[in-house]
Structure 1
Amino acid sequence: MSGHDLSEPVIGVIGGSGLYDIDGLEDKQWRTVETPWGAPSDALLTGRLAGIACVFLPRHGRGHRIPPSRLNYRANIDALKRCGVTDIISLSAVGSLKEELPPGHFVIIDQFIDRSFAREKSFFDTGMVAHVSMADPLCPRLGDVLEEQARTLALPVSRGGTYLVMEGPQFSTRAESALYRHWGCDVIGMTNMPEAKLAREAELCYATVAMVTDYDCWHPGHDSVTVDAVIAVMTENAERARALIRATIPRLGAGRAPCRAGCDRALEHALITAPDARDPAFLGKLDAVAGRLL
């Protein structure tokens, strides 16, 4: 999106399982983006919806090639930032940990518990240390618009909930499922961490729509999770998710003020390495995510 007006919002969509495109996109172009962190999951689909610039990334690659633990989360977020993205809507298939969140239900998440362990979780490292706040990991402004549009479309939706991120690729044991329910978690998935942490480091507003496909394995009235059952619900969810994205993007494109939660200024008080101790070579890798301050 060269020549893009930096004050104009660019809406990034990360498509989860079953979502490999955005309906209604005009001026479509698949664009290969290189990053200092390696290759993202796939080429990025750029275009416009209702006149609003959009960038779509299939999280697992088209055809679902890449498992959760092998996703290059840093490259994915860096590539979106390089394309001018200001706001990210993350779509994610999840299991439900609560009776009142049945398959087909959407949850606009407001908290995470990160139990992933085999992933690179930060853009910052030796030579440039930073500590961003993750107290409120999701952007309330994006959540407000998503909730409003989901209710307008009469989608089954809840606002607020905790997403437990497990490593995977296996589903939970019954004991794990019971533990996460005891912790008060609402849904469980494998992909939104460290994605949300990296979006915060890149000063991008980020919201998750968690789309329930199953009851994990805790529910006595439902068989253990099978891929066939998950895919059937996922297909229905994908149709609803596409409608939600089509409705939400035009609303996010109207007059973007600075984020009231400060997502777009997250690094202002986070950089801790003294300027004369910063590694110039490493700083070069941060040109997209932290160039505003470095």
Structure 2
Amino acid sequence: MNDQDRPRADIGVFGGSGFYSLAAEAETVKIETAWGPPSAPVAVAAFGSVRVAFLPRHGTGHRIPPHRVNYRANVDAMRQLGVRALVSPFAAGSLRPEIRPGEFVVCDQLVDRTWGRDSTFYDEFDDGPVHIPFAEPYDPRLRRIVLDAAAEVGAAAHDGGTVVVVNGPRFSTRAESRWHRESGWHVVNMTQSPEAPLAMEAGIPFVGIALVTDYDAGLDEDPGVEPVSQEAVFAVFEANLHKVRELLDAAIPRLAA
């Protein structure tokens, strides 16, 4: 499919653990990129007058682990569709007792502890060096829109927070989790980097929305809190998926404005 025949979209949404579709009626679009195929065909659907492109970052059936996701292809597919904003809901473990499972964190900062991932489009500086500013990894305007939408639908959402991104697919040790918490970070995840820096390089405003599913390796303050398990993450996300959809339904028209 050439660029002229390809459908366009206003907003891009990446799906994560337990979030594999956005709309029942959608046009499926296969996109090729210079970095290979994205995780899955992109589903483009109309939400009123807004066209939304949806891509599950882990592929159909969650077959791609976080360290093997083709993040460059995923972001470039959204760029080819012309999206003006990228929304990235993701499952996260809380590092703080006041950030509870079932709540959202609309992050404003990111710490990257991943390794071995293709995290830039610039493998060579053919046209000169390119070092993007990344002091603010999340777009302030998009963050405010999401927070306002959360208030509108009655979803508990924390304004700001730092996500520390680990390589996965394993979860953290107690010592690692304690280190993350003592460093002042708020939630932990496996996919926000390199999604965020690649979106910045592609010139697409980006917002990350953490849905808290667990307390990572537990809480020192409460020995009764069990360390996270895969089953617990998927169960909590599934139980709260309706909140993600309600939040996106309220935010999408404003994000496209």
Sort the TM-score into its range (normalised by shorter chain): over 0.9
CA contact (8 A) 1:178 1:218 kept: no
- The two structures have a TM-score, normalised by structure 1, of 0.82
CA contact (8 A) 1:4 1:84 kept: no
Specify the alignment match of 1:19 in structure 2.
Answer: 19
Q: Show the 5 A alignment for 1:185-204.
A: 185-204=185-204
For these two proteins, the number of residue pairs brought into alignment is: 250
Q: What is the rounded CA distance, in whole Å, between the counterparts of 2:97 and 2:27 in structure 1?
A: 42
Highest Rg: 1 or 2? 1
Structure 1: gaps (5+ residues): 255-294
Tell me whether 1:231 sits opposite 2:234 in the alignment.
yes
Tell me whether 1:205 sits opposite 2:208 in the alignment.
no
Tell me whether 1:246 sits opposite 2:244 in the alignment.
no
Q: Show the 5 A alignment for 1:34-73.
A: 34-73=32-71
Specify the alignment match of 2:143 in structure 1.
Answer: 143
CA contact (8 A) 2:218 2:226 kept: no
The aligned amino acid for 1:248 is A
CA contact (8 A) 2:67 2:167 kept: yes
CA contact (8 A) 1:20 1:62 kept: yes
Q: CA deviation at 1:48?
A: 1.2
Specify the alignment match of 1:276 in structure 2.
Answer: none
Q: CA deviation at 1:5?
A: 11
- The two structures have a TM-score, normalised by structure 2, of 0.93
Q: Show the 5 A alignment for 1:1-294.
A: 2=4, 10-23=10-23, 28-128=26-126, 129-219=129-219, 220-254=223-257
CA contact (8 A) 1:40 1:76 kept: yes
Q: What is the rounded CA distance, in whole Å, between the counterparts of 1:5 and 1:21 in structure 2?
A: 18
Query: In structure 2, the residue corresponding to 1:102 is in which secondary structure?
Result: coil
Structure 2: gaps (5+ residues): none
The aligned amino acid for 1:237 is N
Q: What is the rounded CA distance, in whole Å, between the counterparts of 1:49 and 1:197 in structure 2?
A: 27
Q: What is the rounded CA distance, in whole Å, between the counterparts of 1:252 and 1:143 in structure 2?
A: 10
Query: In structure 1, the residue corresponding to 2:93 is in which secondary structure?
Result: strand
RMSD between aligned residues: 1.7
CA contact (8 A) 2:39 2:58 kept: yes
Q: What is the rounded CA distance, in whole Å, between the counterparts of 2:58 and 2:4 in structure 1?
A: 26
Q: Percent identity?
A: 43
Query: In structure 1, the residue corresponding to 2:147 is in which secondary structure?
Result: helix
Query: In structure 1, the residue corresponding to 2:46 is in which secondary structure?
Result: strand
Change (3 A) 1:2 1:10: farther
Change (3 A) 1:118 1:249: same
Query: In structure 1, the residue corresponding to 2:134 is in which secondary structure?
Result: coil
CA contact (8 A) 2:165 2:190 kept: yes
